[in-house]
Amino acid sequence: VLDRAVRAQNSGCAGVVCSGEEAKVVKQKCGTSFKIVVPGIRPEWASVSGDDQSRIATPSQAIRDGADMIVVGRPIRNAEDPREAAQKIIEEISIFDNSK
């Protein structure tokens, strides 16, 4: 993943999509201006039935490790109250962001 991220950057790409597991090393190698999008976001409180995501991260883990954007699908879509689920994720991000 790191090699591909470096090649993407050298080819003029503005960023890459990678798991939370790679975000930190990609950000360190490619710099802060290189954007990282992390899918597979699973808040600790979210239980996703039949989840096929194996390389997951919490919102705060992904951001701490360098994600500029996170992709949260099923934890919101499948929640009993999607608006409440989204709000909880926003609060988690805000708490993390304010602690910097």
Say which CATH number the domain at 10 has: 3.20.20.70
DSSP code at position 10 = H
- pTM, two decimals, is 0.87
Q: Positive or negative, the Cα torsion across 24, 17, 61, 70?
A: positive
pLDDT attached to residue 55:
85
Q: Domain range holding 68?
A: 2-98
What is the count of structural domains for the chain?
Answer: 1
pLDDT attached to residue 98:
58
pLDDT attached to residue 46:
84
pLDDT digits (tens, 9 = 90+) for 16-66: 999 999 999 999 999 999 999 999 999 988 876 677 777 889 999 999 999
**Burial class, 38, CB count within 10 angstroms (exposed 0-12 / middle 13-18 / buried 19+):** buried
